[in-house]
Amino acid sequence: MLPIGSIIGVAGKIIDQFVEDKDLKTKINGEIKKQINDLDKKQAEINLEQAKHPSLFVAGARPAIMWICALGIFTNFFFMPIAEWIAVMIDPQIKLPDLNTGELMTLTLSLLGLGGLRSYEKSKGIARDNMKK
């Protein structure tokens, strides 16, 4: 979804420079918000159609990314500390590489947000459930 606040903020500054009528400014800002909400709704519809696709290469992209995130977090927060402990016991000179998890955590938190939307779909009874077959 688009960062609505930042878009409105930038658009508001531009509108303030070129539009003097207060009512017109309010109307333009309202129209911008409406357009952004419409785009968000259309993107949600596209995501829903993509998830329904029978091909694993189309509908399976999100689950693959989720598994990659889960394995990355497992590696960074469970496996690597144990491996470092074992490596130090074997040879104190061994230094295992540090994993960069900044991008991984951003992606994981984004996917958790999508998981919340999935839970909402399930609570409303509109989620598809093809895993039981």
106 and 90 in one domain? yes
36 and 13 in one domain? yes
65 and 15 in one domain? no
6 and 31 in one domain? yes
46 and 82 in one domain? no
Q: What angle do CA 94, 79, 88 make, to 5 degrees?
A: 25
Domain-ending residue, one of 52, 71, 93 = 52
Q: How far apart are CA 73 and CA 53, in angstroms?
A: 28
- Torsion of the alpha carbons at 8, 12, 13 and 14, rounded to the nearest 10: 100
> What single letter denotes the amino acid at residue 122?
K
In this prediction, residue 103 carries a pLDDT of 84
The DSSP output letter for 129 is -
76 and 17 in one domain? no
pLDDT (tens place) for every residue of the chain, 133 residues total: 445 566 667 777 777 777 777 888 788 888 888 888 888 888 788 777 777 777 776 677 777 887 888 898 899 889 999 999 999 999 989 888 888 888 888 888 777 776 666 666 777 777 666 555 4
Number of domains in the chain: 2
2 and 40 in one domain? yes
40 and 4 in one domain? yes
Question: 121 lies in which domain range?
Answer: 56-133
Show the tokens assigned to 101: 């998890």
Is the entire prediction scored with pTM above 0.85? no
62 and 9 in one domain? no
63 and 46 in one domain? no
Residue 15 contacts residue 29 (beta carbons within 8 Å): yes
Q: How far apart are CA 105 and CA 111, in angstroms?
A: 10
80 and 125 in one domain? yes
128 and 92 in one domain? yes
Pick from 29, 31, 30: nearest CA to 12: 29
Pick from 88, 1, 80, 89: nearest CA to 47: 1
In this prediction, residue 127 carries a pLDDT of 65
